[in-house]
């Protein structure tokens, strides 16, 4: 009997196919089929002095936009655990599939979209290491990804 495939929710640098392939130690051509999704009751913040974000539970109406990837193997999850390190803990969450990330802000995490169980990585290294600023994927891609891939933001 084979292992069951994993589904994971990515909300930061791993939304980039290049970074995800690097983390998975897989060719960029691996068919990952990302699906836009929203994680309710969490907030995403910049990690101090880093190009990557963290998410923490939120008691407010915050939600985090990201990507859902299905069909990950046990080996993929082990590679992701190594990539994330000990500042994060992998947990089971429920996310809502949305039509696109651009429309996610107008779609309530409580409203439209199929609810899917997934694994994600939450920050456990203390909120004192997080900035108040929301982490922005577009900014990462335009301004920080080159340095991140060169090892400056890891």
What pLDDT is recorded for position 4?
83
Q: What CATH number should be reported for the domain holding residue 59?
A: 3.10.490.10
3-state secondary structure (DSSP) of residue 59: coil
- Report which secondary-structure segment, H or E, holds 80: helix 74-84
Q: Give the number of domains in the chain.
A: 1
pLDDT 10s digits, 12-40: 999 998 899 889 886 654 677 899 999 99
Residue numbers of the domain that contains 137: 6-149
**109 part of a folded domain:** yes
Please give the model's pTM, rounded to 2 decimal places.
0.88
Least confident of 30-34, 117-121, 139-143: 30-34
Q: What is the pLDDT of residues 87-113, one digit of tens each?
A: 999 999 999 999 876 544 444 444 568
Q: Quote the percentage of the chain above a pLDDT of 90.
A: 69
Residue 124 near residue 87 (C-beta atoms within 8 A): yes
Per-residue tokens: 154? 């890891």
Burial class for 151, CB neighbours closer than 10 Å (0-12, 13-18, 19+): exposed
Residue 68 lies in a domain: yes
Residue 64 bridge partners (DSSP): 39
Query: Which pLDDT band holds residue 2 (cuts at 50, 70, 90)?
Result: low
């Amino acid at each position: 009997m084979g292992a069951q495939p994993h589904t994971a929710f990515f909300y930061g640098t791993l939304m980039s196919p290049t970074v995800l392939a690097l983390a998975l130690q897989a060719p960029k051509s691996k068919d990952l089929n990302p699906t836009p999704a929203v994680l309710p009751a969490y907030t995403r913040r910049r990690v101090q002095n880093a190009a990557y974000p963290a998410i923490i539970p939120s008691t407010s109406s915050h939600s985090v936009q990201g990507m859902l990837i299905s069909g990950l193997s046990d080996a993929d999850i082990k590679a992701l655990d190594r990539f994330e390190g000990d500042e994060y803990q992998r947990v089971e969450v429920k996310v809502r599939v949305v039509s696109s990330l651009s429309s996610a802000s107008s779609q309530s995490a409580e409203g439209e979209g199929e609810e899917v169980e997934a694994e994600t990585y939450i920050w456990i290294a203390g909120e004192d290491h997080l900035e108040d600023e929301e982490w922005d994927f577009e900014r990462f891609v335009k301004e920080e990804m080159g340095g991140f891939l060169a090892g400056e933001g890891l």
